Structure formats: structure tokens, C-alpha cells
């Protein structure tokens, strides 16, 4: 089986595939035009988030059997087109969940304690620390949008910081919310009105695109911090900038 890897990934992974007898070509950063020219020569393609596996790529890939996503989200892959051609789409949903969760917590500290601003000021020999005191996370209300693998870990860590954690996820049962110790919000609006911090952990779909936009931001508390380490577009950036 011939495999093309189009986005940079750990060398250990490439070595592992070759040790298993696969012929692996690495073409990191290949252009869409070049990919269309060569894809017919491969049985499988492995991508991260950079490469778009479009319907056109799939149609050109006459020998494609597998599309692998070295990561979680598959919004850069035309899954419907793959399904119609019987091409298997696989991902690694457990691969980076802790990294994403820890990044969310790090972002929370950075936002509430003004860490980036203080760092830049100190580099410029500005040591007026009173400018960057910020505020504590302790006792504040954290709203978690999406209580899947990552959102659940984030909620647990935020509770350990003595934050009151509320959550919105229509696919999670009441029993699950109770087990996590997270207060369930029946509607997104309920979460937006209460939260001092909102952290987003849902996949990007047609329904979630622009989930938090101009009208939703009007419902938020003044000074709310919003963290999105999921996918761009779930929070409308223009609306956020103007808020």
C-alpha cells in the first residue's frame, strides 16, 4: 500500500508505517494543484488540518481506500464524498485531548491575569505591575460549551480551581451532568448570561458555524472572557471584535 502524508507529523509515525511495510511518501505542504496530479498514485492519504481533502481530490484518487486524519476534527475532509466511494475516514480523537484541555486552562490564566500583556511590558522595561493585576478565577462562573472528551476534562480542571462550572450540551444526559458536578444549561443563552468565562469545545459543523455571534454576545456579561481552542468560525470573529 502506498501512502502520501501531506502535513507535517511526528517522524516516529512515519517510521512506524514504514516498519509495517507501507510505502510512505512525505510531501508536506503540497499545493492543492499538485495533490490533484499525484493522488491517483496512492492507496491512502494522511493529513492534519492543513490539507483539504475535497470532493475533487477524492474523485481523482481512483485508488484511494483510506483517508487518515492525524488529529481530531475532520472538517477539512469531504466525508460524504468518501462515503459514496467507499473510502474509509479515520481520525485520532484521543490523540490531543489533554493538550487541548491544558491549553484551555492556560488561556484562562493568561486572560484573567493579563500574563501576555505583563510579559510584553516587562520586555520593554515597564514594571508597573498594578496595570496587570487582573482578577482571580477562584469563585467565578465558567461556562463550558460542549461536554465531550475535551470539555469534560476542562470542566474537571476548572472545578479544581474552585470555579462554578455550568455547561451546555444538548447531547449529554442529565445523569452525566450530575456525575460531572456541572450545572446544566438547557439553552445556550442561559450559559451566556451567567458565565464570567466561556470555553468552547465542539466540532465545527454547519449548525455550529457562528454559534456565538452578535446577538449571543449581547447576552454576555460585561468583561466576559471567551476561549475557543476548537475551530475558528464557531465564534464569529467579526462580531467578537466589534463587541
Point out which residues pair with 53 in neighbouring strands: 77
The architecture (CATH level 2) of 97-242 comes to 3-Layer(aba) Sandwich (3.40)
The answer to whether domain 2-91 and domain 97-242 are alike in fold is: yes
Q: Model-level pTM?
A: 0.76
Count other Cβ atoms within 10 Å, centred on residue 126: 13
Mean pLDDT of 25-30: 96
Q: What percent of the chain has pLDDT over 90?
A: 89
Q: What's the rounded Cα separation, in Å, for the pair 101 and 149? A: 9
Task: Report pLDDT for 73.
Answer: 82
How many residues can be counted in the chain? Answer: 243
In the predicted structure, residue 62 carries a pLDDT above the cut 90: yes
Residue 93 pLDDT level (bands cut at 50, 70, 90): confident
Query: Residue 71 pLDDT more than 90?
Result: no
- Per-residue pLDDT reduced to its tens digit, 120-135: 999 999 988 888 889 9
Distance CA 242, CA 6 (A): 37
- Name the superfamily (CATH) of residues 2-91: NAD(P)-binding Rossmann-like Domain (3.40.50.720)
Amino acid at each position: 500500500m502506498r501512502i502520501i502524508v501531506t502535513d507535517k507529523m511526528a517522524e516516529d509515525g512515519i517510521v512506524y508505517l514504514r516498519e509495517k511495510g507501507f510505502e510512505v511518501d512525505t510531501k508536506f505542504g503540497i499545493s492543492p494543484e499538485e495533490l490533484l496530479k499525484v493522488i491517483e498514485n496512492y492507496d491512502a492519504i494522511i493529513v492534519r488540518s492543513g490539507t483539504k481533502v475535497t470532493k475533487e481530490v477524492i474523485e481523482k484518487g481512483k485508488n484511494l481506500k483510506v483517508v487518515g486524519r492525524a488529529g481530531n476534527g475532520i472538517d477539512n475532509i469531504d466525508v460524504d464524498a468518501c462515503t459514496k466511494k467507499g473510502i474509509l475516514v479515520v481520525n485520532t480523537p484521543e490523540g490531543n485531548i489533554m493538550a487541548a484541555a491544558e491549553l484551555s486552562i492556560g488561556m484562562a490564566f493568561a486572560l484573567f491575569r493579563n500574563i501576555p500583556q505583563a510579559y510584553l511590558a516587562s520586555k520593554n522595561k515597564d514594571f508597573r505591575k498594578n496595570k496587570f493585576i487582573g482578577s482571580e478565577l477562584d469563585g467565578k462562573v465558567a461556562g463550558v460549551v460542549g461536554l465531550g472528551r475535551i470539555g469534560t476534562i476542562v470542566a474537571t480542571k476548572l472545578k479544581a480551581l474552585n470555579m462554578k462550572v455550568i455547561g451546555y450540551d444538548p447531547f449529554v444526559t442529565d445523569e452525566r451532568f450530575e456525575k460531572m458536578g456541572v450545572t446544566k444549561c438547557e439553552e445556550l443563552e442561559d450559559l451566556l448570561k451567567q458565565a464570567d468565562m466561556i470555553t468552547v469545545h465542539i466540532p465545527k459543523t454547519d449548525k455550529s458555524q457562528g454559534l456565538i455571534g452578535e446577538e449571543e454576545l449581547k447576552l454576555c456579561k460585561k468583561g466576559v472572557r471567551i476561549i475557543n481552542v476548537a475551530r475558528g468560525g464557531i465564534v464569529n470573529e467579526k462580531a467578537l471584535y466589534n463587541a
